[in-house]
């Protein structure tokens, strides 16, 4: 089980493919977490 095995995560990384061992949606989530989004502070309530 190594780079040539397309059923493992390492094999999929080497082959450049996605699937159950290496889902595409999981990669997007990790990339989104790494980026910092600038958020504006909430406006004070007028009460």
9 occurs within a structural domain: yes
| pTM recorded for the entire structure | 0.43
Residue (of 6, 30, 29) closest to 18 by Cα position: 6
44 occurs within a structural domain: no
Tokens representing residue 10 in the block? 């390492």
21 occurs within a structural domain: yes
8 occurs within a structural domain: yes
18 occurs within a structural domain: yes
Dihedral (Cα; 17, 19, 23, 28), 10-degree rounding: 40
| pLDDT, tens digit, 9 for 90 and up, residues 7-43 | 888 888 889 888 888 888 865 555 555 556 677 777 8
More confident: 1 or 19: 19
* Confidence at residue 37, expressed as pLDDT on a 0 to 100 scale: 60
């Amino acid at each position: 089980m190594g780079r040539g095995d397309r059923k493992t995560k390492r094999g999929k990384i080497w082959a450049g493919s996605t699937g159950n061992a290496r889902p595409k949606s999981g990669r997007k989530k990790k990339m989104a977490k790494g980026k910092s989004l600038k958020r504006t502070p909430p406006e004070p309530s007028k009460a």
